[in-house]
Amino acid sequence: MTQKVVVIGAGVIGITTALDLQRRGHSVLVLDRGDAATQASAGNAGAFAFPEVEPLATPGILRKAPKWLLDPLGPLSIPPAYALQILPWMVRFLRASRSDRYTSLLSAQVSLMKLSSTALDRLIASVDAEPLLQRDGQMQLYESEAEFQASLPTWTLRRDHGIEFELLDSREAIAEKQPGLSPRFTHAGYTPNWMNTVDPEKWVVHLAQSFRDRGGRIETQDIRALSPTNDGIKIAFGDGQVDASKVIVCAGAWSHHLARTLGDHIPLETERGYNTTLPVGAFDLRMHLTFSRHGFVASRINNGVRIGGAVELGGLNLPPNYRRADTLLTKAKQFLPGLKTEGGTQWMGFRPSMPDSIPVIGPSAKSANVIYAFGHGHLGLTQSAGTAELVGALVDGQPDPIAMTPYSPNRF
């Protein structure tokens, strides 16, 4: 069987990319081990976080990381059983956080965010997705004058890149926008143009149905290997194969395993994210809330509340540590005293993360017929539409919408 373009991965990056390729006139097949939105694309916070332009790998991270790592249930942790395995990735992460790298990484993040924001507008219109959006804004909360002052360079950075916001310096001003917060929060930054989806799983399922309605196919296959042929790529799975002219690898946290079958060694790692989704009536949440110092957020999902975040660098195989979700929920109860914590559903998912916080988007070093699009970390939903348009331009041989060097799979 020969297929013109095959997208591997039915998460938000894969499905959005398949839709864009379909729009360009390509016959597209999507392959995944499961159906659409079965991994991190289903359980994330649902935010289109375009204001979050600063990479995680920043010059100040080296001062914070040791303190975080000492707390096994803190914002950043590495299970002891995984510490040796992740050491090479951590070395690259620390190198990426140096001041001489920061400016170029920031520029790459800003460029992709701007493209993704405008691309999302085009996507929303093309698939009638406005009913799946919540345009309620976001508030980032601080517990002291000192913590607020320390955040000001980030807000200045956002202003420099045209991001609208309002800084709040009193409990009263915060309560006007979000009643029910603990008085411990004395300052905040409010971003009015921030938006969320009502449910990230519904978002991807809607995109997948739009893709199917336009003639696209999504099939379940456990892909084992990729190998070049004279005129394309052979995709091998358990009981057969597919020959494609182009393959787009969007398999999230599993992508580097497929890349390795071609001979590409890409330093992708897995951030394990935890959350608890509480039912309708848990809290009158007016907008997305970010508790930066504690590394988690509260978002409204299907009119319930999802409490989640933090980073556990623990790979794909260790069992989940749901004490992390319990810890986040306990903190959330302290920060939102009226929060009803009963009846919640816990979840853990795998975020695919590069050591420099910038995704991989570009052709394989081993075959120009394979294009990689993965490693977006916390920003897969946010950057999906922009990534899709970049991949589409690569497949069609069109000029790059933005400079592509920072996203090269070969940069390491």
- What mean pLDDT is predicted for residues 27-40? 85
In the structure, what pLDDT confidence band is assigned to residue 37 with cuts at 50, 70 and 90?
A: low
Q: What is the pLDDT of residue 55?
A: 85
Q: What is the pLDDT of residue 264?
A: 97
Paired strand residues for 245: none
Q: pLDDT by residue (tens digit) across 304-314?
A: 999 998 789 99
Q: What is the pLDDT of residue 375?
A: 97
Task: List, as one string, the DSSP characters of 366-398.
Answer: S-TTEEEEE-BGGGHHHHHHHHHHHHHHHHHTP
pTM of the entire predicted model: 0.95
Angle between helices 99-127 and 380-396 (to 10 degrees): 80
Q: pLDDT by residue (tens digit) across 204-249?
A: 999 999 999 999 999 999 999 999 998 899 999 988 899 999 999 9
- Residue (of 32, 397, 17, 389) closest to 235 by Cα position: 32
Q: What is the pLDDT of residue 310?
A: 79
Q: What is the pLDDT of residue 63?
A: 67
What token pair was written down for 36?
């659409």
Say which residue the tokens 């000192």 belong to: 146
Q: What is the pLDDT of residue 35?
A: 75
Instruction: Give the CA radius of gyration of the chain.
Output: 21
Model confidence at 297: pLDDT above 90 = yes
- What residue type is 238 in one-letter code? G
Q: What is the pLDDT of residue 77?
A: 85
Q: Does domain 1-57+100-131+199-267+355-412 have CATH number 3.50.50.60?
A: yes
Q: What is the pLDDT of residue 66?
A: 62
Measured between its terminal Cα atoms, the distance across the chain in Å is: 35
Say which residue the tokens 């052709």 belong to: 363
Paired strand residues for 309: 274, 296
Report whether 196 contacts 133 (CB < 8 A): yes
Angle between helices 99-127 and 200-213 (to 10 degrees): 60
- What mean pLDDT is predicted for residues 183-195? 97
Q: What is the pLDDT of residue 1?
A: 45
**Domain range annotation of the chain:** 1-57+100-131+199-267+355-412
